Amino acid sequence: MTPIVVTGTDTGIGKTVFAAALTGALGAHYWKPVQAGLDEDGSGDADTVARLSGVAAAQILPNAWRLETPCSPHRAAEIDGVTIDPDALAPPSIEGPLVIEGAGGVMVPITRSCTFADLFARWRYPVVLVARTELGTINHSLLSIEALKARGVPLLGIVFIGEPHGENERIVPLLGEVRSLGRLPMLEAVTPGALARAMRDSIDIAAIEDAL
Ligand SMILES: Nc1ncnc2c1ncn2[C@@H]1O[C@H](COP(=O)(O)OP(=O)(O)OP(=O)(O)O)[C@@H](O)[C@H]1O
Ligand SMILES: [Mg+2]
């Protein structure tokens, strides 16, 4: 099965929450190759996905790189005195679906010569772009789509997160020539149950399964 990559138009827009919902819906494994910045208790996105997805702990794969500083991975690695080798960032081979989460947005550098978009271009796995619904998303989304397409990255679709915004949700897929997979609403409490329900009700999971 081909892995699915979850990337975003920005940092902090809901990639991990969507990746957790997708991991749960597919019964997938989850892998975040590069974690830059850890919470006070040493946890990162993988721990959030473990809590929210409902999959077995063994399905949450260890990061290839865990970097202390909450900044761009290329710089976080330099501060930690390590160099990430993009060629060595191959997804673990596992049975069944695998959800991979990037860090930050598509043009975030992993090294001084390689961005996440470049890495996705090497991999050629289908990519889901997560985008906000609010003001500013048209520009960020269309630029991200252009960057991915310019590198020949297969773009499976865009997932919006946030309050409904009909026009933004229409114009981005239209101008970006990309399929909308739906909009995950803002949840009052992000719990495993509420997230699984929102995913079932709002996202075209079948379209993602077709790409596996
Ligand atoms: N659908 C949602 N409903 C409510 N809160 C959400 C939703 N999606 C994301 N959030 C909240 O927004 C914040 C950022 O989300 P998340 O960590 O998923 O972003 P991210 O894009 O993965 O960030 P990073 O670039 O750090 O990996 C979190 O506090 C998360 O709980
Ligand atoms: Mg995240």
pLDDT digits (tens, 9 = 90+) for 113-170: 999 999 999 999 999 999 999 999 999 999 999 999 999 999 999 999 999 999 999 9
- Ligand nearest to the CA of residue 30, numbered in listed order: 2
What is the model's pTM?
Answer: 0.97
pLDDT at 83: 93
Residue showing tokens 């702990």: 57
- Ligand 1 pocket residue status of 190, Cβ below 6 Å: yes
What's residue 165's pLDDT? 97
179 phi and psi, to 5 degrees? -75, 135
108's tokens:
């975030």
- List the chain residues with pLDDT less than 70: none
Per-residue confidence (pLDDT) for residue 179, from 0 to 100: 98
Q: Which of 9, 13, 17, 43 to mutate to test the pocket of ligand 1 (most atoms within 8 A of CB)?
A: 17
In the block, which residue shows the tokens 């794969």? 61
CA–CA gap between residue 174 and residue 145 (Å, rounded): 12
What contacts 177, CB < 8 A, 6 or more positions away?
145
Contact between 181 and 207 (Cβ < 8 Å): yes
Which residue from 89, 158, 95 is spatially nearest to 120, judged by alpha carbons?
89
Cα 178 from Cα 139, distance rounded (Å): 15
- CA 15–ligand 1 middle distance (angstroms): 6
